[in-house]
Chains A and B, each alone.
Chain A
């Protein structure tokens, strides 16, 4: 894709973009364009976006669209595709993500996740919605994956947005070096930080890494004098962090944050389970059911009783 403005300079910064989502009402104030970048340092077992986990573009397969015509197998250059018991099967270890099969399949059974884009290309996409940002007070939110896996790109895009008067936000787990965060902070109006668990052992077990870096970054963030708004997002995962003790453990940290604007609870959902199958990955929480509305309300109620000093709400809710 050529940049709309025709600029094509050698200092373009590139990133692998999973998708760009427009007119979101859940990811920051106003109407927002959300740029999902690929790649993440964490490995949350409940992750609803498995296609965002590794940086490299990936191929998915939608079994129910396949008519077993075999044209993808004939055209696969690396031999990653084969017909086993009448069904097309992908050997992901052989797949080079050339996406030939995506182009060829007449039924759109193959699908690509992610493409490389330059900062200018992404900025052009963002700036298309300036009119909606203007009337809604919205802007861009860069999310992921962990968007700070590709920090130079994030900074470059946010800088461009700032110059154009587009409000900026990022969503991050803070699981990167403080230097990276420090460099991106000056370009951010709203910062959404995901906190999953305060117990280091549990964090390691369900997220794949411990939470020390995250918590230390959070502390440093809170001391920053830059004028961003800090929001904490807590995924509410049954059996992982929804018990009284896990929730109570969050309270002192939340109370200690002087910069905190509000807390959003993201209830566990299963919208992403199909994507695991498309990618040939296993979903570790296969049997887990989403919490009921009543249960979520009860947990919110429980948290509200803990004398938090900032508003608490369900993300996307009233």
Chain B
């Protein structure tokens, strides 16, 4: 329950977000376009920096009623920002449809449309990342992309994102402190030395964006003063004057209070979104870098715990305002306007000891209180170091059924960072990024999810000799007629060859995108990367302290494992069905082949702690990681990951029936989770199976969704068992889990589509059964909650 002292404000702010439908916002695009015209002839990064400053000077500045933390990347409360230089063409393609499209629509006003058509489009035509990418995409990559085997446009339709800026440094030193570092670095240059001229204007561009930021925050201060002069309500007047004072100080100067630290953080967050429309700029370890400010204020009496809680919650609502602008296809792969601003609590400190503190709990509480879709909240849980009280608070949040937090096994996260080449001392400071990727504040550059690979397609290509069933076209390497595979090993070999071919095509594409993005410098982001200043190299050019190759993400894990298992068991081991019979059944989507479908479904399934199938998870995913890591980019080794966001659904549409029993054009399984309806032994067995994947090698993260029974969350015994379950997950070396609580809605779904919920157990003491096998009247009783105490469904 929110404390009454601030509940009214938080509910008011929250309602405003929920009641405002997202619009397109073209103000930034217009100013950027004008800026690029005005500064023609100057180096690209200077034009970008000067256009950014122009945005700071000219953009609409608004402070909305009752808010305490202020700032907005655009001119509208909830909007998708068009960053014309990276992705003007995305909007161009969707001018007629974007207001109404099924995933993540944005309302486009007529005046904005004509602004776009008359001013923005004419200037940027031919210059967006997407157009450059389309002009250069290799044929093999294009064929695979068009057949839905890979999705690789993400980075070409928006900015970098997927990074954690140096928030801590900015808050601590202020822009004036960073400017000082830049000036000193600049003083060491000699423009007569080859290369130093570039460095000089690059550093100047950093000073220019810093100057813009200072001026924009002062504009907010003025606006607050102005509103204060108009305010009728004395209380609001006082608040506005306080806002004016805070905005005068930060982010220009070092923050001197908890509130200033929060405001500096949020201002900078809006600035980097202004520079580039991008997903997942992650505030990261807020419980760590904000703690000194909180403690000092508490000690001096400048703030109470409740006031600090209110401010965090005000900030939480701000995080939920912006909406990610992306094209219709990308939106299908990551639906819900996902800004992925990932905040993290817990874990260990730089000495490797327990880092949980009072703010960790307050941040968890803020997410419990505000319950909006942003910020994404992650927990780093160190089994060895973090206290069980912290784990209990995490379970309380899980019990709310919002899907938060994303629970991460700290030791595995640290190992992932180390496998990216980061020394242990710094790896201690890792933070989750976006969905479940791994990051390091202010030091690491890479695109964590450059491309997605459809593992359902990989199986299909191995069975069809490189042909896509849907496209009815050979799009991949010819690995031979599957009917002629005499052994299981030959079939497995074909899968590996298909995967290797696809990986190679993705790597080629990734290298091209890296080149395209060399022309997308991001000085506002680079400003808080110390090494970008020292090396006088932009984030985009590899100026960060650590750089690694882009992420290649695998989708359809369970479909792949179960398909391999089915073929091994029914075609090769028991020989109940020949390969040609199986292929015919797949071609017919199992229609008229009930017997074969049954055999496919009966084959050992991933998610049941069954070694007969789980070995595949270990072997094949080790191969996949080896294969991806065998490639280098100009920024370092390519990096594997397993996180679907929502990409398993559109990828499934591209894949016909599979030996796993998946019907044609249906969704793939998500993340590393089992296929729905095939995990029959409950969540412990799922964890045991999932643990066979070498998680730490998939350094961009692995994602597990689990169902959890309400009985595990709502009484003392259940909560304790849930805590034990989470500790077990860490012992097993599984990296991440998040929970869907089984509620009435899910039980109704189980009644409707029992095949997807075959493993759902109903338990009371001394009794258990599968929900879908109970009579309808008993099911209805359970759904109606008219049943007894101590019943558990999960």
What is A's interface to B at a CB cutoff of 8 Å? 4, 19, 21-27, 30-31, 34, 36, 48-49, 62, 105-108, 111, 128-129, 131-132, 134-138, 143, 171, 233, 264, 266-275, 277, 290-291, 293, 296, 314-318
Q: Could you tell me if B773 and A62 are in contact, using CB atoms closer than 8 angstroms? A: yes
Q: Could you tell me if A106 and B781 are in contact, using CB atoms closer than 8 angstroms? A: no
Q: Could you tell me if A25 and B712 are in contact, using CB atoms closer than 8 angstroms? A: yes
Q: Could you tell me if B789 and A317 are in contact, using CB atoms closer than 8 angstroms? A: yes
A31 CB contact (under 8 Å) in B724, B767, B788: B724
Residue B213 interfacial (CB < 8 Å): no
| Interface residues as binary, B783-794 with A (CB distance below 8 Å gives 1, 0 otherwise) | 000111111100
Q: Could you tell me if A314 and B769 are in contact, using CB atoms closer than 8 angstroms? A: no
Roughly how many angstroms separate A143 CA and B767 CA in the complex, as a whole number? 9
- Other A-B contacts than A22-B684, A318-B715, 16 sampled, CB-CB below 8 A, are A23-B685, A23-B725, A30-B721, A48-B767, A106-B598, A128-B688, A132-B725, A233-B765, A269-B788, A270-B778, A271-B764, A271-B769, A271-B778, A272-B767, A274-B773, A317-B715
Cross-chain pairs A/B with CB under 8 angstroms, 27 sampled: A4-B611, A24-B763, A25-B711, A25-B721, A31-B684, A49-B767, A106-B598, A108-B598, A129-B684, A131-B728, A131-B732, A132-B728, A134-B728, A135-B728, A136-B724, A267-B788, A269-B787, A271-B767, A271-B774, A271-B782, A290-B787, A296-B789, A314-B789, A316-B711, A316-B790, A317-B715, A317-B789
Using CB atoms, name the residue of chain A closest to B714: A318
Q: Which residues of chain A have C-beta atoms less than 8 A from B304's C-beta?
A: none
Q: Could you tell me if A318 and B682 are in contact, using CB atoms closer than 8 angstroms? A: no
Using CB atoms, name the residue of chain B closest to A274: B775
Residue B487 interfacial (CB < 8 Å): no
Q: Could you tell me if B775 and A277 are in contact, using CB atoms closer than 8 angstroms? A: yes
Roughly how many angstroms separate A19 CA and B46 CA in the complex, as a whole number? 70
Roughly how many angstroms separate A277 CA and B720 CA in the complex, as a whole number? 37
Q: Which residues of chain A have C-beta atoms less than 8 A from B769's C-beta?
A: 271-272, 275
Q: Could you tell me if B775 and A131 are in contact, using CB atoms closer than 8 angstroms? A: no
Q: Which residues of chain A have C-beta atoms less than 8 A from B720's C-beta?
A: 136
Using CB atoms, name the residue of chain A closest to B773: A62
Using CB atoms, name the residue of chain B closest to A51: B769
Q: Could you tell me if A233 and B766 are in contact, using CB atoms closer than 8 angstroms? A: yes
Q: Could you tell me if A315 and B765 are in contact, using CB atoms closer than 8 angstroms? A: yes
- The smallest beta-carbon distance between A192 and chain B, in angstroms, is 8
B721 CB contact (under 8 Å) in A48, A49, A131, A136: A136
Contacts known (A269-B787, A271-B774); A264 close to B682, Cβ less than 8 A = no
Roughly how many angstroms separate A62 CA and B754 CA in the complex, as a whole number? 13
- The smallest beta-carbon distance between A5 and chain B, in angstroms, is 11
Contacts known (A106-B598, A271-B778, A274-B773); A135 close to B731, Cβ less than 8 A = yes
- The smallest beta-carbon distance between A119 and chain B, in angstroms, is 19
B762 CB contact (under 8 Å) in A131, A171, A271: A271
Q: Which residues of chain B have C-beta atoms less than 8 A from A274's C-beta?
A: 773-775, 778
| Interface residues as binary, B693-723 with A (CB distance below 8 Å gives 1, 0 otherwise) | 0000000000000000001100111101100
Using CB atoms, name the residue of chain B closest to A124: B611
Contacts known (A132-B684, A132-B725); A27 close to B766, Cβ less than 8 A = yes
Q: Could you tell me if B764 and A26 are in contact, using CB atoms closer than 8 angstroms? A: yes
Give the size of the chain B interface in residues (CB under 8 angstroms): 48
Residue B5 interfacial (CB < 8 Å): no
Contacts known (A21-B768, A31-B725); A318 close to B732, Cβ less than 8 A = no
Residue B306 interfacial (CB < 8 Å): no
Roughly how many angstroms separate A129 CA and B778 CA in the complex, as a whole number? 30
- The smallest beta-carbon distance between B77 and chain A, in angstroms, is 44
Q: Which residues of chain B have C-beta atoms less than 8 A from A131's C-beta?
A: 728, 731-732
Q: Could you tell me if A296 and B725 are in contact, using CB atoms closer than 8 angstroms? A: no
Roughly how many angstroms separate A143 CA and B766 CA in the complex, as a whole number? 7
Residue B514 interfacial (CB < 8 Å): no
Residue B727 interfacial (CB < 8 Å): yes
* Residues of B726-773 contacting chain A, CB below 8 A: 727-728, 731-732, 761-769, 773
Residue B597 interfacial (CB < 8 Å): yes
Residue B452 interfacial (CB < 8 Å): no
- The smallest beta-carbon distance between B392 and chain A, in angstroms, is 14
Residue B683 interfacial (CB < 8 Å): yes
Q: Could you tell me if A34 and B788 are in contact, using CB atoms closer than 8 angstroms? A: no
Q: Which residues of chain A have C-beta atoms less than 8 A from B594's C-beta?
A: 106-107
Residue B198 interfacial (CB < 8 Å): no
A316 CB contact (under 8 Å) in B681, B778, B791: B791
Roughly how many angstroms separate A274 CA and B782 CA in the complex, as a whole number? 14
Using CB atoms, name the residue of chain B closest to A137: B724
Q: Could you tell me if A22 and B681 are in contact, using CB atoms closer than 8 angstroms? A: yes
- The smallest beta-carbon distance between B788 and chain A, in angstroms, is 5
Which residue, A31, A134, A268, has most C-beta atoms of chain B within 10 A? A31
Q: Could you tell me if A21 and B766 are in contact, using CB atoms closer than 8 angstroms? A: no
Q: Could you tell me if B682 and A317 are in contact, using CB atoms closer than 8 angstroms? A: no
Q: Could you tell me if A26 and B765 are in contact, using CB atoms closer than 8 angstroms? A: yes
Roughly how many angstroms separate A143 CA and B768 CA in the complex, as a whole number? 12
Roughly how many angstroms separate A105 CA and B718 CA in the complex, as a whole number? 38
- The smallest beta-carbon distance between B769 and chain A, in angstroms, is 6
Which residue, A143, A267, A272, has most C-beta atoms of chain B within 10 A? A267
Q: Could you tell me if B609 and A316 are in contact, using CB atoms closer than 8 angstroms? A: no
Q: Could you tell me if A315 and B764 are in contact, using CB atoms closer than 8 angstroms? A: yes
B685 CB contact (under 8 Å) in A22, A108, A293, A315: A22
Q: Which residues of chain B have C-beta atoms less than 8 A from A277's C-beta?
A: 775
Residue B493 interfacial (CB < 8 Å): no
Q: Could you tell me if A266 and B765 are in contact, using CB atoms closer than 8 angstroms? A: yes
Q: Which residues of chain A have C-beta atoms less than 8 A from B782's C-beta?
A: 271
Residue B93 interfacial (CB < 8 Å): no
Q: Which residues of chain A have C-beta atoms less than 8 A from B788's C-beta?
A: 267-269, 290-291, 293, 296, 314
Using CB atoms, name the residue of chain A closest to B779: A274
A106 CB contact (under 8 Å) in B595, B767, B768: B595
- The smallest beta-carbon distance between B577 and chain A, in angstroms, is 14
Q: Could you tell me if A106 and B597 are in contact, using CB atoms closer than 8 angstroms? A: yes
Q: Which residues of chain A have C-beta atoms less than 8 A from B789's C-beta?
A: 267, 293, 296, 314, 316-317
Roughly how many angstroms separate A270 CA and B788 CA in the complex, as a whole number? 10
* Residues of B588-611 contacting chain A, CB below 8 A: 594-595, 597-598, 609, 611
- The smallest beta-carbon distance between B175 and chain A, in angstroms, is 48
| Interface residues as binary, B606-624 with A (CB distance below 8 Å gives 1, 0 otherwise) | 0001010000000000000
Contacts known (A106-B597, A315-B765); A273 close to B778, Cβ less than 8 A = yes
Roughly how many angstroms separate A316 CA and B788 CA in the complex, as a whole number? 10
Roughly how many angstroms separate A266 CA and B789 CA in the complex, as a whole number? 9
- The smallest beta-carbon distance between B200 and chain A, in angstroms, is 58
Q: Which residues of chain A have C-beta atoms less than 8 A from B763's C-beta?
A: 21, 24, 26
- The smallest beta-carbon distance between B596 and chain A, in angstroms, is 9
Using CB atoms, name the residue of chain B closest to A71: B595
- The smallest beta-carbon distance between A280 and chain B, in angstroms, is 15
- The smallest beta-carbon distance between A82 and chain B, in angstroms, is 21
Q: Which residues of chain B have C-beta atoms less than 8 A from A129's C-beta?
A: 684, 688
- The smallest beta-carbon distance between B778 and chain A, in angstroms, is 6
Q: Which residues of chain B have C-beta atoms less than 8 A from A48's C-beta?
A: 767
A317 CB contact (under 8 Å) in B595, B598, B724, B790: B790
- The smallest beta-carbon distance between B122 and chain A, in angstroms, is 62
Q: Could you tell me if A23 and B682 are in contact, using CB atoms closer than 8 angstroms? A: yes
Roughly how many angstroms separate A107 CA and B762 CA in the complex, as a whole number? 22
Roughly how many angstroms separate A66 CA and B754 CA in the complex, as a whole number? 14
Q: Which residues of chain A have C-beta atoms less than 8 A from B786's C-beta?
A: 290
Using CB atoms, name the residue of chain B closest to A20: B681
B764 CB contact (under 8 Å) in A128, A143, A171, A269: A269
Q: Which residues of chain B have C-beta atoms less than 8 A from A135's C-beta?
A: 724-725, 727-728, 731
Q: Could you tell me if A26 and B792 are in contact, using CB atoms closer than 8 angstroms? A: yes
Roughly how many angstroms separate A108 CA and B758 CA in the complex, as a whole number? 11
- The smallest beta-carbon distance between B488 and chain A, in angstroms, is 19
Q: Which residues of chain B have C-beta atoms less than 8 A from A138's C-beta?
A: 724
Q: Which residues of chain B have C-beta atoms less than 8 A from A26's C-beta?
A: 763-766, 790, 792
Roughly how many angstroms separate A268 CA and B594 CA in the complex, as a whole number? 40
Roughly how many angstroms separate A225 CA and B623 CA in the complex, as a whole number? 57
Q: Could you tell me if A34 and B768 are in contact, using CB atoms closer than 8 angstroms? A: yes
Q: Could you tell me if A25 and B766 are in contact, using CB atoms closer than 8 angstroms? A: no
Roughly how many angstroms separate A277 CA and B773 CA in the complex, as a whole number? 12
